[in-house]
Amino acid sequence: GQSLEQPSEVTAVEGAIVQINCTYQTSGFYGLSWYQQHDGGAPTFLSYNALDGLEETGRFSSFLSRSDSYGYLLLQELQMKDSASYFCAVKGDDKIIFGKGTRLHILP
Amino acid sequence: NAGVTQTPKFQVLKTGQSMTLQCAQDMNHEYMSWYRQDPGMGLRLIHYSVGAGITDQGEVPNGYNVSRSTTEDFPLRLLSAAPSQTSVYFCASSYSSSPYEQYFGPGTRLTVT
């Protein structure tokens, strides 16, 4: 089967850097992706890692270590609009399964 | 492009009633899926389809049926609604070549009394 673990909540200060971790178990790993969801909205795609290493997209970066079944999302120069829930998702075989999400609280 | 559309936005059902949640996409995506979202539970996969005529079960398929007669449409049927099916339902689609980048519809908020 497939399962993902991520912290339920993280708090950081505006302008700072925060890292959201994700560990996974899956058969037939094809990649780890990250989504952002604001309250009342739909999830939106942020980034994807199929190979080990760091992928950077503006203020957001995502890292993957396949040998450790581990990845993280790094958010830099935090802004109040980054207050949202963040989900990691893994594709194994045909299914795409999501973690339970990490609620990011940003303090001014 | 309208992207992924879902209807209705809100629905209230009585226990035992049946209904169909509609999902359509105009991006010619092969991969479509249905998720339900409950507080603290993340997004749980109900059913998915890798192309027209092909469907498969996800993590929580009981009480739901799907069909995929066209590339564009992927309706979700609740056979006999139960209070445990009160949730927000999201439909998503993506290209088979990049299934990790899913596009989500706006969601349907369903309450079963």
Q: What is the pLDDT of residue B18?
A: 96
Average pLDDT, chain A: 94
Question: Which chain B residues have a beta carbon less than 8 Å from that of A31?
Answer: 100
Q: What is the pLDDT of residue A92?
A: 74
Q: What is the pLDDT of residue B58?
A: 93
* Chunked mean pLDDT (size 10), chain B, 113 residues: 94 97 96 93 93 94 97 97 97 86 96 97
What tens digit of pLDDT does each residue of A52-65 get?
999 998 999 999 99
Q: What is the pLDDT of residue B24?
A: 98
- Residue from the list B41, B44, B105 with its beta carbon closest to the beta carbon of A42: B105
Q: What is the pLDDT of residue B39?
A: 85
Question: Which chain B residues have a beta carbon less than 8 Å from that of A41?
Answer: 106
Residue A99 forms contact with B (CB below 8 Å)? yes
Half-sphere exposure (Cβ direction) of B113: Cα atoms closer than 13 Å: 4
Residue A71 forms contact with B (CB below 8 Å)? no
Two tokens, residue A105: 């609280």
Q: Which residue of B has its CA nearest to A94?
A: B50
Residue A48 falls in which region: left (phi positive, over 0), alpha (psi -120 to 50) or beta:
beta
